A and B are shown apart, each in its own frame.
Chain A
Amino acid sequence: MNKKFVLGIYDDEDVLLTAIENVRAAGTKIYEVFSPYPIHGIDDVLGIKRSRLPIVAFFCGLFGTCFALWMQIWMLGFDWPMIIGGKPHIALPSFIPVTFELTVLCAAFGMVITFFIVTNLKPSMKVNVFDKRSTDDKFVMAIEVKEGVTDMTALNNLLRSNGAVEVNEKEVVK
């Protein structure tokens, strides 16, 4: 099934932000906005919720801490106790560096892997973008056209009156 989109092309972030607000206020649902760089304040006008990735990082880090402590205490304290420098088998102060490093390692990797999965980032030979200029210097607002709608004038006017420099149509083969 083919999906049809109307793309409003903008060339300024502030115009885009106002346009998003007006388009949403007019009751039009925005499918997605593409930009060459992160725009501050776009989360609020688009209604994007704060990412929960920091929570993932926290729990992955916590796992790293627990794993590192368990590993060192079990290995040197129980599995093969050795007296090193006359210190106790479970010498917690000298376990701190490895615990810290593993905490950071697990937090960073856990969060980044989750980020790749939830954002669906994976290596692929072919990438479909709505408008190739959106990774260069243009901001693209994509609006999905409902089935059966053939007259684009209203949408076109809405986008143009809000500062779009171009309005294009694009069909995506699913």
Chain B
Amino acid sequence: MQHVSPIREPLVTGGKTYHDITEDVSRQVEAKPNIRWATALAISLVGLAIFAYSVYRTLWYGIGEWGLNKTVGWAWDITNFVWWVGIGHAGTLISAVLLLFRQKWRSSINRAAEAMTIFAVICAAMFPVLHMGRPWLAYWVLPLPNTFGSLWVNFNSPLLWDVFAISTYFSVSLVFWYIGLIPDFATIRDRATGPIAKRAYALLSFGWTGSAKAWSRYETVSLILAGVATPLVLSVHTIVSMDFATSVIPGWHTTIFPPYFVAGAIFSGFAMVLTLMIITRKVYKLEDYITIEHVESMNKVIITTGSIVGIAYITEFFIAWYSQVEYEQYTFINRAFGPYWWAYWSMMTCNVITPQLFWIRKIRRSLTATFIISIFVNIGMWFERFVIIVTSLHRDYLPSSWAMFSPTAIDVGVYVGTFGLFFTLFFLFAKYFPVVNMAEVKAILKSSSGVTHSHTKTMHATEKELNTNTRHNNE
């Protein structure tokens, strides 16, 4: 028994029963693909084709296809990498951190958010692998004894830490997501009618029966996985920030980077979750599960992390002045008023000003406003990485090596292409996997549906079912 505050809004509305939850979520999986879904997938596949072509050009002709030059050796590739990894962080935060904090509103959004994490990390991983130029030798980043003598990888390098961090993050997130999917696959398996669906979901469900013993272990495993995933998600963006912070370059070499990057990652990730969830709830008619209350809670996370990011921008500027290092000072003046001023001010507007609108309750609870602001935040966070990376590099110590960076069509193609990859994966997920965690929503239904249930009127709303009950009892 737990206390439920009367001022809390219900997390599941519409007086749902357990069976309604199963019906509402499984409907999408069991229905034949409709034309809207097919169109959306077709558009994503066009994006995927753009990705394939850009990758082909990058690999066949080499990295010269990108707009990099001798001064700006890192630009869109690393910007996109950090951007996608950052987006991924929201999924783990929702599934792990909010589980530890016992935030029940995570239940109906964690499935889709975790899927987003996994797909975003896949997109992110494309960039460093492609930047290797010869991705078929990507396994050289692993500590393997090689044929040129047992020269090992450099464990002092943050780029190597990234290899370990991203691959651990990806595999642990995948396992966490899959464990949560098993009971729901079992539900779909037991409802399936077609021979292929029956077998496919039986395979995916790993023979889950929902016995009390299995549930007990399942809960333990979820809790421990949440416990290890929480420091993991913080470590990943910390290590990503160290790619910059450990190098002695003005604008990068700051100790503020790890917390600043982690906050930024959560900020952009929640924005992406909102963008996706506002569409998903509408298309899949899940308004009773992903309520305005959920949107508002996420907007509160956005305003918190957005303000942390804003303070970080101001702190950076202050420290540049306070350090009395002229190179550091120049970098920051150049960021705000140099040739890339438009990128800096886009970042400031999108990341610092727009999320502050969420202080107003009406905006926080408006779907249209939330959707627009979430897009702004995503744009702003892309510019943040671009600003940090390109403006710190493009004016080197020697003015003779100053250069500007402009992306080529292939740069744009790879970036746009990862959207194709992301949405192709996301649409396939949304069609064949349950987008809401049915078991977890059922578990919170009694305490958070806003409907009072008593023993005599157990979970049933209709007269018909009540009659059935009486008949059984009289038999």
Query: Which residues of A approach B to under 8 Å, CB–CB?
Result: 11-15, 32-39, 42-43, 46, 48, 50-51, 53-54, 57, 61, 71-72, 75-76, 79-80, 82, 84-85, 87, 91, 94-95, 97-98, 100-102, 104-105, 107-109, 111-112, 115-116, 118-127, 129-130, 132-137, 160, 163-166
Contact = CB atoms under 8 A, between A and B. Distances in A.
B19 A32 contact: no
A104 B455 contact: no
A127 B206 CA distance: 9
A137 B156 contact: no
A168 to B, nearest CB: 12
Residue among B18, B210, B231 with max Cβ neighbours from chain A (10 Å): B210
B215 A97 contact: no
Contacts of A84: 154, 156
Interface string B6-45: 0000000000011100100000000000000000000000
B134 interface: no
A2 B193 CA distance: 27
A115 B221 CA distance: 8
A50 B191 CA distance: 32
Contact of A126 (B160, B202, B218, B229): B202
A65 to B, nearest CB: 13
Interface stretch (B64-72, B121-129, B171-179): B171-179
Interface residues of B, number: 76
A71 B446 contact: no
Contact of B213 (A48, A82, A116, A122): A48
B225 interface: yes
B237 interface: no
6 contacts: A32-B212, A35-B210, A35-B215, A38-B215, A97-B239, A115-B221
B217 A46 contact: no
B5 interface: no
Given A72-B155, A104-B228, A79 B150 contact: yes
Contacts of A101: 161, 164-165, 168, 232, 235
B172 A108 contact: yes
A116 B17 CA distance: 31
Contact of B183 (A12, A79, A135): A135
